[in-house]
Structure formats: C-alpha cells, structure tokens
Amino acid sequence: MNILETILQSQNGNAVRQLGNQFGLQPDQTQAALAALVPALAAGFQRNMTSQGGLDSLMSALASGQHQRYLDDAGSLTDSSSFQEGNGILAHVFGNKDVSRQVAQNASTQTGIDPSTLKRMLPLVAALAMGGLSRQSNASPGTGAPAGDLMSMLTPVLDQNRDGSMVDDLLGLASRYMGRRPGSA
C-alpha cells in the first residue's frame, strides 16, 4: 500500500474526515487536497532518504517518535502539538517555508482549494505522511531493508502515470514548483 492509500484508508477514512472538518472541506475536497499534497511530501522524503545520512535520520525519527498516532487516533490532529510536529517535519523535508508555500500554491491550482487553507493543512498532512511511514517501518521490523520498504510506499505516489518510471513525474513535479510546464524552456 502506498503512503496516500494508507492515509485515505486509515481508520476507515476517519483521519481524512477529521482533517476535512478542521478546514471546512467536503470529503472529496479533502481527498483532492491529499492527492495534491502527498506527492510533494513523498518526493521530499525520498530526496532526504537518498542524501548522505538521510535514511538513518529518517529511521531514527520514526523509531523515536509516535507518528503512527495520527493515523490511529484522528482526534490527535486537533492538538496544537500536531501542528508543531508537522511544521518540524516540513522544515526537514522541504528546508524552508518558501517551498511549503509553493507546494500549497501548486496544490491550489490542481484542486481549486484556497492556497492559505492548503498551507495551514500542510503540517497535518506531513504528520499523517510520517505516520504512514512509521506504520510501514513498524510493519516490517528486522527485514534488513527499511529503505526498500519505505520506498515501496513512496514510489507509487511519485509514479503517477504508472509507466514504471518516476523520472518524468518528478520532472513534472519539479517544473510545477518552478512555475514551468514540462518541456518548456
């Protein structure tokens, strides 16, 4: 199961309902927001995992945190600590607030949801994504391949056109963040 599916199906969709209720979104709008935001987070997680020390850092964060609670108890999304933790995740994954703003703006273009709503939602989506990664890493302890297990959650979200290659999808994602369409000069 990929990270987006894990979030959408958690507690029979309760986390998604809770998230939508917090931001005044209908269920289809919340799912569209997640479908637009999670790939950017997945790309950030993947980029961090492949950097020097990135996988060790992520595994340490997954082992020391209680990230799975966001999937197991949707009520935890209403705690102010959830926003703080989500903002910490975003700082690590994206590096700065400008990237988060751009991710929200691009998601707004895709979904029609106000970018300020998506920007406020993004920390909680990051917490949910980290919860999905935590669930995956806990589901396969001792397999000796944590990177492969986590990548298996990220890759389907990143290979959106299901052609077996993430390269074209990542280039498209990157070009959207830079304000260009793929193939334009």
Q: List pLDDT tens digits, range 12-25.
A: 889 999 999 999 99
Judge whether 25 and 37 are in contact, CB under 8 Å. no
More confident: 103 or 169: 103
Domain spans, the chain: 3-177
Q: List pLDDT tens digits, range 35-87.
A: 999 999 988 888 887 778 777 787 777 777 788 898 899 899 999 999 999 99
**Angle, vertex CA 133, rays to CA 11 and CA 170, nearest 5:** 115
pTM for this prediction: 0.76
Q: List pLDDT tens digits, range 81-96.
A: 999 999 999 998 898 8
Structure tokens, 138: 């806990």
